[in-house]
A and B are shown apart, each in its own frame.
Chain A
């Protein structure tokens, strides 16, 4: 059974959305967002501004906001193409919530993240969901292994590593990681690969189930961020269709464009409603919240990727230049939705629920 009342009401949620959107519009305006993303000092500045608003604390105190509010903020970050390291802060806050007062290194990091004086990057390793994400193990007071597809590694002052053998997390200051290799590609800023070989560390024991749950929350956060980017890209295409004239009429009068945009709106609404349903069920501690999470990830993956393709089609070559805002959204959406095993993994989770788990591969 689920708990009933949400701590945060609709009005407060609207206020939160307006606050974050206003802050980002002022300090992370669309113009120059692309160049600014590569400016470490600028990212640090906006990170401190978000901290001053209490936004880096999301996830720590359920009374101040649940997963619905976290996803709402991620949506705004996606919308503004703002690459702050909030994902790691949320994961650390959710971890520290259970370890409050424990002298395990998490509490200190958590405080620094909340103050905006530190920035972290999380490596999910074996819990990532992508087969090539690597694996980190802990033995004899040291960590070894490699972890790929890590975001915000370039600006991180700390790394939080998910360890599967034995299950737990390890916090390392940036200098202690053996190597951080940027892995350029579709994702901007680039993801990175980390490696460790007997790096001294302390393990905070966390159950594998809890780590898997946190990875699922990370997937939802990234899907929400992709939703914000897709929504923004769609709005650009929608506005464009109303003012762009070809063959003597606004292209938005052509049914081919109208139906394309109608389908995009359907996909955006479907993704938003199911993400919100998943977060609502998580906040209510519903025993089947993961089913709702899997449904939203399975739908949002292909749907939002299609939205940005269709938005590009509507914009034509006008949105195709890298200096335009659209490519940033294109990259963000694909990077956020193809990670963590993508929609395929989510569909498999739904099949597990409905058909029972598949036999392990031999």
Chain B
């Protein structure tokens, strides 16, 4: 199958990429993948047994320091790993723990918190959702209102969170709460607590997001957690949250690999399909659009590679990461729309329709909105580029 050639300049990265591919061919492709694909779409992406296999291999916490059980792999190796896993559609239900919670605990957690949670994350056994957004706090996260009030040795939590991916499947939630309602600026009154979801006072209301999986609203009614559940100290949550974003940056490369997979599925189809006696691959309009998408995917990949390179040099990609997210997110929309144009009405059909030309493309289009609005909307990312990258006045 023709796909864009890899851009690995370091032989160690190429070797690791091969190792991951070979491991996936044994442990993922085949019966396990087939079984996973037979599950309803909304239940895919989580496979606890597979998570444990990845954990046993030592590939959860690839970038974590060795002192905390990680492999201290280079950002370029981490990127190659993420690309291979995403390209293979291998489920990574442990991702929030590995990329957000773990690095935050390594940096800000107490030794007790580290001892309690990090080994479970590394084994692929800790499921945790993010509790950030609220009805009145989306892009303006610092406006969040969910309150935590000190009561003896405990915190009492009241409020509501929205759009938590995996909220109905996780045991814990990484919750941003307001501990000082009068703080100025607003973000100086925020703290982070790890809250077990199965306890009195918590209501979880999942709904299906348009991409086909659940996200949940969670309600907190006098929920009691011990003070030991707070990470990074009282009113220090903004730093815990934003530091964790840095660890997440290399992960954007995963979306690019997903896009490459989608383009490859599309080109595979175009190569063999005919329409009205004409081979689709001879259609010059289709060729032109495929060429444009391939170029854009290469651009997105070079952005992801740059992020890894900056991290390798000890620098933090700020506007560069925002750029990658805007570009890759909007590219997914373009790709989904182009696929629909190329496939015609057949592109509307899902994998459940026996006559679907490529069942997964309509899902790519539905999913694309999430890439643009999730984890900081494209508008917020453009603000970051303008202010952090170009130094324009606020």
Q: How far is the CA of A192 from the CA of B383 in the complex (A)?
A: 45
Is the CB–CB distance between B4 and A291 below 8 Å? yes
Task: Pick the residue among B5, B291, B320 that contacts A351 (CB under 8 A).
Answer: B291
| Chain A residues near B296 (CB-CB < 8 A) | 299
| Chain B residues near A253 (CB-CB < 8 A) | 392-394
Q: Which residues of chain B in 279-305 are interfacial with respect to chain A, using CB atoms and an 8 Å cutoff? A: 281-282, 284, 287-288, 290-292, 294-296, 298-299, 302-303, 305
Q: How far is the CA of A356 from the CA of B286 in the complex (A)?
A: 13
Is the CB–CB distance between B299 and A258 below 8 Å? no
Is the CB–CB distance between A355 and B270 below 8 Å? yes
Is the CB–CB distance between A252 and B392 below 8 Å? yes
Of A262, A265, A356, chain B has the most CB atoms within 10 Å of the CB of: A262
| Chain A residues near B192 (CB-CB < 8 A) | none
Is the CB–CB distance between A258 and B386 below 8 Å? yes
Main secondary structure of the interface of A (DSSP, over half): helix
B390 within 8 A of A: yes
Residue count of chain A within 8 Å CB distance of chain B: 46
Q: How far is the CA of A348 from the CA of B292 in the complex (A)?
A: 9
Interface bits B356-394 vs A (CB < 8 Å: 1, else 0): 000000000000000000000001001101110111111
Question: Given A270-B299, A277-B7, A347-B288, are A354 and B267 also a contact pair (CB < 8 Å)?
Answer: yes
Interface bits A333-350 vs B (CB < 8 Å: 1, else 0): 000000000001011111
A294 within 8 A of B: yes
Residue of B nearest to A358 (CB): B282
Q: How far is the CA of A358 from the CA of B7 in the complex (A)?
A: 26
Q: How far is the CA of A231 from the CA of B296 in the complex (A)?
A: 20
Interface bits A313-355 vs B (CB < 8 Å: 1, else 0): 0000000000000000000000000000000101111110111
Task: Pick the residue among B2, B282, B389 that contacts A354 (CB under 8 A).
Answer: B2
| Chain B residues near A294 (CB-CB < 8 A) | 291, 295
Is the CB–CB distance between B291 and A350 below 8 Å? yes
| Chain A residues near B382 (CB-CB < 8 A) | 258-259, 262-263
Is the CB–CB distance between A280 and B393 below 8 Å? no
A255 within 8 A of B: yes
Is the CB–CB distance between B303 and A269 below 8 Å? yes
Is the CB–CB distance between A265 and B389 below 8 Å? yes
| Chain A residues near B320 (CB-CB < 8 A) | 269
Of A266, A274, A346, chain B has the most CB atoms within 10 Å of the CB of: A266
Is the CB–CB distance between B287 and A261 below 8 Å? no
B168–chain A nearest beta-carbon distance, Å: 36
Task: Pick the residue among A284, A299, A356 that contacts B295 (CB under 8 A).
Answer: A299
Interface bits B4-17 vs A (CB < 8 Å: 1, else 0): 11010101000000
Interface bits B326-340 vs A (CB < 8 Å: 1, else 0): 110000000000000
Q: How far is the CA of A346 from the CA of B298 in the complex (A)?
A: 13
Q: How far is the CA of A257 from the CA of B386 in the complex (A)?
A: 9
Q: What is the total of A-B residue contacts with beta carbons within 8 Å?
A: 139
| Chain A residues near B303 (CB-CB < 8 A) | 269-270, 273
Is the CB–CB distance between A255 and B287 below 8 Å? no
Residue of A nearest to B8 (CB): A2
| Chain A residues near B281 (CB-CB < 8 A) | 355-356, 358
Is the CB–CB distance between B11 and A4 below 8 Å? yes
Of A4, A270, A348, chain B has the most CB atoms within 10 Å of the CB of: A270
Of B284, B294, B305, chain A has the most CB atoms within 10 Å of the CB of: B294
A242 within 8 A of B: yes
A241–chain B nearest beta-carbon distance, Å: 7
Q: Which residues of chain B in 319-359 are interfacial with respect to chain A, using CB atoms and an 8 Å cutoff? A: 319-320, 323, 326-327
B271 within 8 A of A: yes
Question: Given A347-B291, A356-B271, are A270 and B385 also a contact pair (CB < 8 Å)?
Answer: no
Is the CB–CB distance between A347 and B292 below 8 Å? yes
A315–chain B nearest beta-carbon distance, Å: 15
Task: Pick the residue among B11, B270, B299 that contacts A273 (CB under 8 A).
Answer: B299
Is the CB–CB distance between A298 and B292 below 8 Å? yes
| Chain B residues near A270 (CB-CB < 8 A) | 299, 302-303, 327
| Chain B residues near A263 (CB-CB < 8 A) | 382
Is the CB–CB distance between A355 and B11 below 8 Å? no
A209 within 8 A of B: no
| Chain A residues near B294 (CB-CB < 8 A) | 295, 298, 350-351, 353-354
| Chain A residues near B302 (CB-CB < 8 A) | 270, 273-274, 277
Q: How far is the CA of A261 from the CA of B282 in the complex (A)?
A: 38
A288 within 8 A of B: yes
Is the CB–CB distance between B323 and A259 below 8 Å? no
Residue of B nearest to A241 (CB): B392
B306 within 8 A of A: yes
A359 within 8 A of B: yes
Is the CB–CB distance between A355 and B290 below 8 Å? yes
Is the CB–CB distance between A359 and B393 below 8 Å? no
Residues of B within 8 A of A (CB): 2-5, 7, 9, 11, 263, 267, 270-271, 281-282, 284, 287-288, 290-292, 294-296, 298-299, 302-303, 305-306, 319-320, 323, 326-327, 379, 382-383, 385-387, 389-394
Some 21 contacts from A to B, beta carbons below 8 A apart, are: A242-B392, A253-B394, A255-B379, A258-B383, A258-B390, A259-B382, A262-B385, A265-B390, A266-B323, A273-B299, A273-B303, A273-B306, A277-B298, A277-B302, A295-B4, A298-B292, A298-B294, A347-B295, A354-B267, A355-B281, A358-B284
| 10 additional A-B residue pairs with CB within 8 Å, beyond A253-B394, A266-B326, A358-B281 | A4-B9, A252-B393, A262-B385, A270-B302, A273-B303, A281-B7, A294-B295, A346-B295, A355-B267, A358-B284
Residues of A within 8 A of B (CB): 4, 238, 241-242, 250, 252-253, 255, 257-259, 261-263, 265-266, 269-270, 273-274, 277, 280-281, 284, 286, 288, 291-292, 294-296, 298-299, 344, 346-351, 353-356, 358-359
